[in-house]
Structure 1
C-alpha cells in the first residue's frame, strides 16, 4: 500500500484506501457489490471496475469504454445484473463547456424533433456480472433522444430512470420492465405539464427558470420520489407502472436555488432527505440545502429542518463548487440507516450527519481529501479543487467517495 493522501480536514473519519482508478481519476456514481466497485466516468467515458475486497489495496481490474460521443455517468447493481446508462456526452459539446449553459438551460439541446440524426448511444445497457470483474453485455433498451441520465433498480421486475426523449423539453420519468433482462422494455412515462413539446404543450415556468427536468427517482413501495432539478420535489404514484400519476409537486425555487438531486425516503421514520445540488462555482446558483421533510402525509411533505453546512473553514473562498451533491441512498445490501446521513459536499468533502433529532440534525463526521494531483476535467477555466461527487456506504460501514478528478477514496467513520 502506498502512502495515503493527507486530508485537509478530518473529524471522526480517516482515509484507509485511495486509487487513481487505473489512470482514469474522474468518477461519478459508484456501486459496491461483491467486493467490486463499479464507477461511471464523466470525462473518461465508460465505466471502471475495481477490486475493493482489500480496501487498503485497491486494484483496477476492468474498464468498459462507452460508444462514440456517449457517456455512462450512472449505474446500478443487483444480484448478477449491472445497469448502465447511455446518453449523449453533454460536456463534449462546445456550447456546454460553460456549466451555466448546461444547468441553467441557456443552450437549446433538450427538445428535438423526431427526425434528427443521433451519433451517440442512448438507452439502458444491461450487463451480467456473475463474474464481478468481467461485465458481459446481455441486453440493451434504446431510446430516441439524448438518452438516460440516472436510473434506480433494486431487483425484481421494475427499473426506473430519467430519460431525455425526442419531443420533450428535458428529462422525464420512465418505468422499465426488466422481467427479461436481455430485453428491457419501456413500460410507462410521466412528465410535468408543459414538457411535452411535441404534443403542443408550452412551458408554464419562467424562461430563466433553469432545468425543469428529472434528475432521478428513488422508489419506495409504489411511490417514486423524484428530484426534478429546479422544479424541486415531485412525488409520483407508480402502483400502475404503465401509467404513473402525480401525487404532489413541491417547489421552493425561487427564493432558494433549486437543483434538487436526491429525494431519499426513510420509510420507518416517515421522513424524506432532499438534496439540492450546487452546480455553479462560488455559489452563483444560490443556497442549496439538504432538507429533512416530514413525510407522514404523502400528498403534503413538509420541510422541518436542514442539515448544517460545513463551517470548519471558508469553503466559498476555496473556489469551485461549495455545496451538496449527493447522499448515500440506503440501497438493499448496503449500509442502511435512518439515523446517519452520508453526503458529499464537493469542495468540502464528505460529511456525516446524525438526524436522530429530526428538528436539530448535527454533523458528526467529516473528511476533506486534498485537491486533485491533476485535472482530468478538460473544460476551460476549471479550478483545481476537490469535487467529491458520489458516496456509497457498504454493509461494513466503509465509505466510498468518487471525485471529478481525484480518484476513489475509501474512508472509515470512527464516531
Structure 2
C-alpha cells in the first residue's frame, strides 16, 4: 500500500493511494482512461502519465514535456484519444505572477500580455492529439494550430466534435470554438462564438459592466446541441451549437457584481433539468469575495432560474489557513465513468475535496470531504505563495474511485463511503 501522511480532515472518505508524479507533484486537470491517469501540469509544463491499475500503488510512467514557454495544463481523454492544450504560459511573465493581474486585469491588458513576446513563435498555440489505443503510451498523431495565445480548456467525450476555449489574435480574451475531429490526425476549427464586444479586430468595442475582470470563456460543456459555457467574470453563456459552424447565443446571465464571478464550470444534469455552475475562488484569503456553487433550473434554457447554492465547508476556518479558499473545479460526469445527477464531487482549494448530495436541489448537503496533508514545499515558483493545499481537479472513474490533483502534492486516490 502506498505511503502517505494522514489527512488533515476526512468525512465519509478515505485515502488509498498517492503519486508524486515522477517528482513533478504540480497538477491541474486529470483524466483516467483504461487504467492510466493523464495529468496536465501547471508549473512543470508538460503531461504526466501514471499507471493506476493498482490504485493503492500508482506508478509513474513518463513525462511528455511541453514546447518552450508553453502550458499543457488541461487535457481530455476518451477511449483511444488524448487531447492536450497548448497555450502561452501566462504565469511565467513577471507582470502576471501576481494573481491580481491575471484574474482581475482588463481584457485588453490580458490580450496585450498574450501577444507580448520578442518572438511570436516563442510558444506553441493550439491542440495536440495523441493516440492512446495502447494504454499508457501516448503517441502524437496530430496538431491543430491557432494564431494567438492558445487554448485553455477542451471538452471532448468522443465522436466528431470537440469544444474549447481559445485565445485567438484579434479577440479581447478567450472565446468558444468548435473543433471537427472527423480525422483525429488533422483536427480543424469549425466555428466560433464570442460575446458582443470581444472581436477587437472587427472593430467591436468592449462595454463591460465592470471596470476590471476577465470577460473570457473558460470552457464549454455540451449536452445535446447546447453548450453551457463558463465565461469567467461574464458568468454564464448558454449557446446553441446545433450548427457547429455557426453557434448562436441562447442567453447570457451575469451576477458577478458583488457575489461570484470567475465562473469556472457549468455542468448540465439533463435528466433533472439542472445546471451546476461553479464560481472559482481566485485570490488569497477570500479577497475576491464569496464564490458559490450554484444550482440552476434549466427546463427552459433561455430562462435559467437559480434554486440554491451548495453549502460552504465549515469544519474549520479555512480563510485563516491562508491561500485560496473556495471552489475550483467540479467533476464533469465523464461518459464511460461515474455519472450522477444526485452526487457531485468538487475541489475547494485549501479545503480539499468536497462531496455534495443534491437530491433535494433546494437544500443540498455536504456528505463527504477529504483534506490531505499540506505540502512541505511548493512547486509554484511565484513569489510570496503560502505553503498550503491548492486542490485543483477531481475525477471519478467507472469503479467510483476518486482521483484528485493539487498544485504541489501530486495525485491522490480516494474512496467515498456513500
TM-score by length of 1: 0.98
Shift of 1:206: 4.2
Select the residue among 216, 219, 222 that pairs with 2:222: 219
* Conserved? CA contact 2:111–2:171, under 8 Å: yes
Comparing 198-207 with 282-291, greater Cα deviation is found at 198-207
Shift of 1:255: 2.2
* Conserved? CA contact 2:210–2:257, under 8 Å: no
* Conserved? CA contact 1:147–1:165, under 8 Å: yes
Tell me what 2:110 maps to.
Answer: 109
Tell me what 1:185 maps to.
Answer: 188
Change (3 A) 1:113 1:409: closer
Whether 1:49 and 2:52 are equivalent positions in the alignment is no
Shift of 1:208: 2.4
Shift of 1:209: 3.0
Instruction: Determine helix, strand or coil for the equivalent of 1:317.
Output: helix
Unaligned runs of 5+ in 1: none
Tell me what 2:161 maps to.
Answer: 158
The correspondence of residues 68-147 of structure 1 with structure 2, limited to 5 A, is 68-106=68-106, 108-110=109-111, 117-147=120-150
Deviation digits for residues 141-167 of structure 1 (CA, Å, limit 9, x no counterpart): 000000000000111111000000000
Q: In the aligned structure 2, how far is the partner of 1:383 from the partner of 1:228?
A: 28
Shift of 1:370: 1.1
Instruction: Determine helix, strand or coil for the equivalent of 2:22.
Output: helix
Tell me what 1:366 maps to.
Answer: 369
Segments ≥4 residues shifted beyond 3 Å? 111-116
Q: In the aligned structure 2, how far is the partner of 1:35 from the partner of 1:256?
A: 40
Tell me what 1:395 maps to.
Answer: 398
Shift of 1:131: 1.4
Q: In the aligned structure 1, how far is the partner of 2:185 from the partner of 2:19?
A: 33
Let me know the Cα RMSD of the aligned residues: 1.4
TM-score by length of 2: 0.97
Whether 1:257 and 2:269 are equivalent positions in the alignment is no
Q: In the aligned structure 1, how far is the partner of 2:287 from the partner of 2:308?
A: 23
Shift of 1:133: 1.6
Instruction: Determine helix, strand or coil for the equivalent of 2:25.
Output: coil
Shift of 1:328: 0.4
Q: In the aligned structure 2, how far is the partner of 1:53 from the partner of 1:215?
A: 32
Unaligned runs of 5+ in 2: none
Tell me what 2:30 maps to.
Answer: 30
Tell me what 2:282 maps to.
Answer: 279
Q: In the aligned structure 1, how far is the partner of 2:175 from the partner of 2:27?
A: 24
* Conserved? CA contact 2:115–2:148, under 8 Å: no
